[in-house]
């Protein structure tokens, strides 16, 4: 069977890593998804779906499944899994690596306002505009629901729960083009963009369109890194680490 590797996934980098390691006769790769999205993009190879039951559950799973190495390639804003992965790998005595794409950087012409967390974003937002394009995902839309004097265009992958009447929901999943994002900003008379610092090329077009239109960007900073994790930023580097870790 060869060495067994767990990729904690849900990102383009995780799928790229699974592809980079596939097929390898001496390696058995299992990608794990949380099961949050109804119709997830699947990586090549074996996939399991659903939580493990915290760090303890994951440590148990790693031991039972005789996993030799773990790559946590979850999203930069998946706060809990990164911490659980470090603890579980340590408890199970399994080498661990974090694969995380770099964040975005503001350049000439950008008007970015960085805040730490959603509560700060809600406080700052009304001072930046009144018609917001919200691209921060379905899970935290409720944070903005109290801003009754603003209008929101909320782009989400899956249908969210009930929202106030000042929200319009747009279903979508990247990659997006600058032409498409520019058209959205114009059509809805957007005057402020709210985004996470997700990084990567798939969803960067909105930032280019905002720059072109002179629209301010409210950028919610990344959560802190998990202590004690070695980090790489590309699937290629992670694949190399896997090969070396499992010999």
Give the binding site for ligand NAP (CB under 6 A).
8-11, 32-34, 36, 51-54, 57-58, 74-75, 77-81, 84, 137
From the CB of 153, what's the least distance to ligand NAP, in Å? Answer: 18
The overall longest dimension of the chain from CA atoms, in Å, is 60
Residue 157, H or E segment: none
Closest distance to ligand NAP from the beta carbon of 54 (Å): 4
Please state, in angstroms and as integers, the Cα–Cα distance from residue 22 to each residue in 28, 214, 220, 227, following that order.
9, 44, 35, 30
Backbone angles phi, psi at 67, to 5 degrees: -80, 140
Q: How far is the CB of 231 from ligand NAP (least distance, A)?
A: 15
Residue number of the CB closest to ligand NAP reads: 51
Residue 138, both tokens = 């379905």
- Choose among 122, 34, 31: nearest CA to 84: 34
Closer to ligand NAP at the Cβ: 9 or 191? 9
Shortest distance in whole angstroms from residue 216 CB to ligand NAP: 21
- Element containing residue 196 per DSSP (H, E): strand 192-196
Q: What is the token pair recorded at 51?
A: 């939580």
Q: Which is nearer to ligand NAP, 90 or 183 (CB)?
A: 90
Q: Please, are residues 197 and 103 in contact by the beta-carbon 8 Å criterion?
A: yes
**Closest distance to ligand NAP from the beta carbon of 83 (Å):** 8
> Within the chain, where are the H helices?
12-20, 54-64, 79-92, 118-124, 178-187, 205-213, 235-245
Closest listed residue to residue 141, CA positions, set 131, 155, 125: 155
Compute CA distances 165 → 52, 148, 150, 193, whole Å. 37, 9, 11, 19
Output 80 or 243, the one with its CB closest to ligand NAP.
Answer: 80
């Amino acid at each position: 069977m060869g060495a067994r590797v767990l990729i904690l996934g849900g990102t383009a980098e995780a799928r790229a890593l699974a592809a980079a390691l596939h097929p390898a006769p001496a390696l058995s790769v299992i990608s794990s998804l949380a099961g949050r999205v109804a119709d997830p993009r699947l990586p090549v190879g074996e996939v399991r779906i659903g939580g493990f039951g915290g760090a303890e559950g994951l440590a148990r799973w790693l031991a039972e499944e005789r996993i030799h190495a773990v790559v946590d390639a979850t999203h930069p804003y998946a706060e809990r899994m990164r911490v659980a992965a470090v603890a579980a790998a340590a408890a199970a005595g399994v080498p661990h690596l974090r694969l995380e794409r770099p964040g975005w950087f503001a350049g000439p012409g950008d008007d970015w306002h960085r805040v730490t967390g959603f509560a700060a974003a809600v406080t700052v937002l009304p001072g930046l505009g009144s018609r917001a394009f919200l691209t921060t995902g379905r899970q935290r839309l409720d944070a903005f629901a109290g801003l009754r004097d603003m209008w929101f265009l909320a782009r989400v992958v899956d249908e969210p729960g009930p929202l106030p009447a000042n929200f319009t929901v747009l279903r979508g999943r990247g990659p997006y083009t600058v032409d498409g994002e520019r058209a959205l900003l114009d059509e809805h008379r957007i005057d402020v963009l709210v985004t996470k610092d997700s990084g990567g090329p798939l969803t960067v077009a909105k930032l280019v369109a905002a720059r072109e239109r002179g629209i301010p960007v409210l950028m919610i900073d990344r959560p802190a890194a998990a202590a004690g994790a070695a980090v790489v930023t590309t699937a290629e580097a992670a694949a190399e680490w896997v090969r070396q870790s499992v010999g």
